Amino acid sequence: MFVSRSLLKSTELFLKAAVPVLLALVLILQIASLRGLFADNAFRLVRLLQSQAYVPNPEKTRFFCTLIFQLPALITVRLGVTDLAFFRYLFAGTFVALPLGVWALALWKARRETLFWLMLSLFCFVYFTTEFFNAGEYNWAYGLSGLQFVWLIRKAPLSATDRMGLLTTAFLSILSYASTMFFGPLFVALAALRLKESAKNERGFWIAVIVLSAAAALVGLWGFVFPGDPSNKAQALKISNFFENPQIALLGAAFLLSAALLMPYLRSARPALVFCALLIALAAAAGLFRPLNPNLIYGARVWVCAGFWTGCLFIAILLRRRAVYASFAPWQGIVLTFLLFAALCAWDIKDSLDYARYIERFTTIVNANTGFITNDLLVDTDPYALRFEWIWCYPAMSLVLRKNAQAAIMLNSAYGVPKQMMDPYTDLPDLGRYY
């Protein structure tokens, strides 16, 4: 089918412009729904407000990102602000805005090249595979790595700001996440080499990028074989998880298909590739491979780490060997990659709306009662409670959501709580100055 080149270019520009609009909508609803308080972040906020000091992460390899996430709230509390509602949105907003922000910057830096569509597809694989649990250190670390990768391999020259950003983020990688700690120094060395503009055309530089990506992928596999938490390995190996959370395999396949559609050598196979990619895009739109439980992300992370760096390795090889269109991509690859992205954004928006209803119900119950109450009042009356609960954080979430010191504290379940970070009877923080 013949379509004029000018129309195709206009369509590509329109779809590229739609990407930040959808990301902005996703971010706004994540902030408005307090998605950043999910899991144990409510507990972190309580401890920060109580101590008015930095709350260290038990995992020391996350020092930089933990500090960066807490810094806005920490500065604000030191300035004497005592509005709890403001802290809720500031703290939760920081946890969702920073990971999405670095990914958005990576896409922005690649916007003038075919690299944009490859990175958008890789973003879908990394960010949306974790489904509801896409806030925090994990996606910050890989978003940071994605941004550095774009700076390293894009064709456009680096500005002075780019060079400063590349070196800064390379250093931040060293203590942002357990896996990035290993190859952070390699990023620093590559960043220093990339400051010389001619380096991007040198064979040695590309070999170094490929070696970095391959080594990082091996680190991901090593983390799978010898995880810090053995339960992660057991969950990753559990075959039933792939039926409950098949996004790992399907979004990985979507990335490979999008790359294949951008390769001139596979022009004759494009109809079959389009058919397969369309099936995945339709499955995403129908929500057919969405995980049923946010907890499944722990089993997914070890796979996504290896998959992310394998994807970077694949992209580096494609670009080095000029195996994809340099700047003018086939419309099939563009449209199907965008459809997949848009479908996943739509489901993320639905997640935010569902979580907002859950938080609203939680808030209503806590503020309509006094004393200690059981979580049955929420679990038995809210259709989203079993999906969004974090079984040991009910007291912390109650402290964050209540409107006065007399409102109720919801207790954790009496069954299945693996750890109790805060005993509501003996260790209940006093946040009276914030009500």
Distance CA 293, CA 383 (A): 14
Distance CA 222, CA 213 (A): 14
| Mean pLDDT, residues 341-368 taken together | 92
Q: How confident is the model at residue 34 (pLDDT cuts 50, 70, 90)?
A: very high
For the stretch 102-131, pLDDT in tens is 999 999 999 988 889 999 999 988 888 766
Helical ranges in 321-330 per DSSP H: none
Task: Give the residue from 380, 283, 310 showing the smallest Cα distance to 389.
Answer: 380
Tokens of 389: 């609960």
For the stretch 251-297, pLDDT in tens is 888 888 888 877 776 667 777 777 777 777 777 776 666 655 555 56
* Res 435 pLDDT > 80: yes
For 186, other C-beta atoms within 10 Å of its C-beta total 18
* Res 366 pLDDT > 90: yes
Q: How confident is the model at residue 402 (pLDDT cuts 50, 70, 90)?
A: very high
Task: Give the residue from 335, 249, 234 showing the smallest Cα distance to 289.
Answer: 249
For the stretch 57-109, pLDDT in tens is 877 778 888 888 999 999 999 999 999 999 999 999 999 999 999 999 999 99
Say if residues 182 and 219 touch (Cβ distance below 8 Å).
yes
**For residue 352, what pLDDT is reported?**
92
* Res 174 pLDDT > 90: no
**For residue 137, what pLDDT is reported?**
77
Q: What angle do CA 191, 196, 198 make, to 5 degrees?
A: 120
Quote the mean pLDDT of the chain: 80
What is the Cα Rg of the chain in Å? 23
| Mean pLDDT, residues 234-249 taken together | 59
Say if residues 233 and 301 touch (Cβ distance below 8 Å).
no
Distance CA 391, CA 35 (A): 16
| Mean pLDDT, residues 164-168 taken together | 82
* Res 359 pLDDT > 90: yes
For the chain, the domains span: 5-335, 356-434
Locate tokens 């459809």: which residue? 339
* Res 416 pLDDT > 70: no
Q: What percent of the chain has pLDDT over 70?
A: 76
| Mean pLDDT, residues 345-354 taken together | 91
Task: Give the residue from 45, 429, 401 showing the smallest Cα distance to 410.
Answer: 401
Tokens of 396: 């912390």
Distances in whole angstroms, Cα of residue 228 to Cα of each of 59, 220, 234, 327 = 10, 12, 12, 42
**For residue 213, what pLDDT is reported?**
73
Say if residues 268 and 186 touch (Cβ distance below 8 Å).
no
Q: What residues pair up with 373 in beta bridges, in sequence order?
A: 410
Pairing state between β 372-373 and 409-410: parallel
* Res 385 pLDDT > 70: yes
Locate tokens 């590739």: which residue? 273
| Mean pLDDT, residues 2-20 taken together | 82
User: Which residues contact residue 216 at a Cβ distance below 8 angstroms, ignoring those fewer than 6 apart?
Assistant: 145, 179, 182, 183, 309, 312
* Res 337 pLDDT > 70: yes
User: Hey, which of 141-155, 175-189, 379-393 has the most confident mean pLDDT?
Assistant: 141-155
Tokens of 107: 């896409």
Q: How confident is the model at residue 392 (pLDDT cuts 50, 70, 90)?
A: confident
Work out the end-to-end distance of the chain between its first and last CA atoms, rounded to an integer number of angstroms.
64
Q: What percent of the chain has pLDDT over 90?
A: 27
Single pTM value for the model: 0.86
Q: How confident is the model at residue 132 (pLDDT cuts 50, 70, 90)?
A: low
Q: How confident is the model at residue 369 (pLDDT cuts 50, 70, 90)?
A: very high
**For residue 31, what pLDDT is reported?**
94
Distance CA 395, CA 324 (A): 53
